[in-house]
Copies of this chain bind each other. A is one copy, B any other.
Amino acid sequence: MRLGELAERLGCELRGDASIEVDGVGPIEAAGPGQVTFVANQRYQKYLATTRAAAVILASDAPEVATASLRCADPYLAFARAIEVFYRPLEVAPGVHPTAVVAASAAIGADCSIGPYAVIGERVRIGAGARIAAHVVIYPESTIGERFTAHAHVTVRERTVIGNGVILHAGVVIGSDGFGYVAEGRGVRKIIQAGNVVIEDDVEIGANATVDRAAVGSTVLRRGVKLDNLVMIAHGCEIGEGSMLAAQVGLSGSTRIGRFVRMGGQVGSAGHLTIGDGAQVGAQSGVANSVAAGAVVGGYPAVDITVWRRMVAALPRLPEVLRRLRRIEKRLGIAQSGAAGGGED
C-alpha cells in the first residue's frame, strides 16, 4: 500500500511522499523502512530523529519531523486503526471439529468454529459467530451470546451467563468455586458455591485470570469490563461498566466496583468494599476501605494519591528526623527515655 492511500484510510493529513510503499506497523525503535510507526510514550520522543520508519503518526500540532508524517487529532486511535489495516488474521476452520464433544442437548448458533477436543456440555447455548479454540471446556447449562471468542484451555463452569462479543484468553477460568468455609466443630465446612457468574457484552479477560462463582446470587462483570492476565475476581463481586483492571489485581469477596474505574497492576482489595465510579487505584495498592467516586488513591494501605506521594517523598528522611530530634532534645536537656524531661508531660 502507498502512504497516500493509508493516510486516506486513516483520515490523516499526509506530510511527505504519498508514493512511499508501506506494508506494516512497527515500534518506533525497531520499525523498518516499510513500516509506519507511532510515539507511544513520551520516552520514545528521542527516537523520532533516528527512526528508519517510512512514516510516523503524529498529532496535527506536533513539531515537524524529518520523516513523512500522518497527522490527525487522535494519533493513538489512528495507530490502532493502522494496525487493523495491515493485520493478517489467522484463518479459522469453520464448523465443529470432528473431535469436539458437543452434547446432544447443546444449541450452537450459525457460523461457529469449534476447535479440536473442545467439550460443550449439556444444555449449553452458544450464539452465532463463536470462535472456540482447541481444548475449551464449557460446563453444562451455560448460556453464551454472539461472537464469543475463547482461546485454548478456557474453562467456563456450569450455569455461567455470557453476553455478546466476549473474549476469553487462554487458560481463563470462569465460575470456579468461591473460597467459602464456615467453622464447624474443630474444622471447617465447605459452603457450596451455588451461585454463578454473569458476564455482560464486550467483556475481555486476560490469560489465566479467574472469576469465581457466587455462593448465592451472581458474580457480575458489567458491559465492557476488561481484565488483564492473572486477575482474580472473588465470589460475589460486581464490576461496573467499562472498568479496567490491570494484571494480577485481586478482589476479595463481594467487592462492588463502579463504572469506568481503573486499577493498576497487582492491586488488592479487601472484601465487601465499594469503589466508586471513575475512581483510579494506583498499581500495587492495598485498598482497605471504600473509595469515593472519582477519587485517585494509592499506597498500602491506599490513601489519596497526593497524600501518598508526599508520604513517600518524606519517608527517606525519617532516619534524619530521628537524628534531628535527638539533637534538639540534647540542646533542651530532654532525656531521650521520655521518663525525665522536666516533668512537663
Give the residues in chain B near A307, CB-CB below 8 Å.
316
User: In the complex, which residues 301-345 of chain A have their Cβ closer than 8 Å to any Cβ of chain B?
Assistant: 301, 303, 307, 310-325, 327-332, 334, 338, 341-342, 344-345
State the oligomeric state as a number of copies.
3
Asked if B311 and A315 make an inter-chain contact with CB atoms under 8 angstroms apart, the answer reads: yes
Give the residues in chain B near A162, CB-CB below 8 Å.
none
Q: Which of A101, A176, A330 counts the most chain B CB atoms within 10 A?
A: A176
Asked if A284 and B283 make an inter-chain contact with CB atoms under 8 angstroms apart, the answer reads: no
Asked if A344 and B331 make an inter-chain contact with CB atoms under 8 angstroms apart, the answer reads: yes
Task: Tell me the complex Cα distance, A26–B331, Å.
Answer: 61
Give the residues in chain B near A169, CB-CB below 8 Å.
173, 176-177
Q: Which of A76, A155, A202 counts the most chain B CB atoms within 10 A?
A: A155
Give the residues in chain B near A320, CB-CB below 8 Å.
338
Give the residues in chain B near A268, CB-CB below 8 Å.
248, 265-266, 283-284
Task: Tell me the complex Cα distance, A272–B206, Å.
Answer: 20
Asked if A207 and B212 make an inter-chain contact with CB atoms under 8 angstroms apart, the answer reads: yes
Q: Is A47 an interface residue (CB 8 A)?
A: no
A314 partner, pick from B90, B194, B319, beta carbons under 8 A: B319
Interface residues of A, count at CB 8 A = 128
A331 partner, pick from B236, B252, B334, beta carbons under 8 A: B334
Task: Tell me the complex Cα distance, A230–B229, Å.
Answer: 10
Give the residues in chain B near A76, CB-CB below 8 Å.
182-183
Of all chain B residues, the one with the shortest Cβ separation from A135 is B137
Of all chain B residues, the one with the shortest Cβ separation from A299 is B300
Give the residues in chain B near A315, CB-CB below 8 Å.
311, 315, 318
Of all chain B residues, the one with the shortest Cβ separation from A119 is B134
Task: Tell me the complex Cα distance, A330–B99, Å.
Answer: 82
Shortest A214–chain B CB gap in Å is 7
Give the residues in chain B near A189, CB-CB below 8 Å.
77, 80
Asked if A234 and B208 make an inter-chain contact with CB atoms under 8 angstroms apart, the answer reads: no
Shortest A328–chain B CB gap in Å is 6
Q: Is A158 an interface residue (CB 8 A)?
A: yes
Chain A 262-285 interface 0/1 with B at a Cβ cutoff of 8 Å (1 = within) = 000110101110000000000110
Asked if A210 and B194 make an inter-chain contact with CB atoms under 8 angstroms apart, the answer reads: no
Task: Tell me the complex Cα distance, A184–B345, Å.
Answer: 62
Q: Which of A61-69, A81-89, A106-114 contacts B (4 or more CB under 8 A)?
A: A81-89
A–B Cβ pairs within 8 angstroms, 26 of them: A77-B182, A77-B189, A80-B189, A90-B139, A90-B141, A101-B134, A116-B119, A117-B117, A119-B152, A137-B152, A155-B171, A169-B173, A176-B229, A179-B226, A187-B224, A232-B248, A252-B265, A266-B266, A266-B286, A283-B286, A284-B300, A300-B300, A317-B322, A321-B322, A324-B334, A327-B334
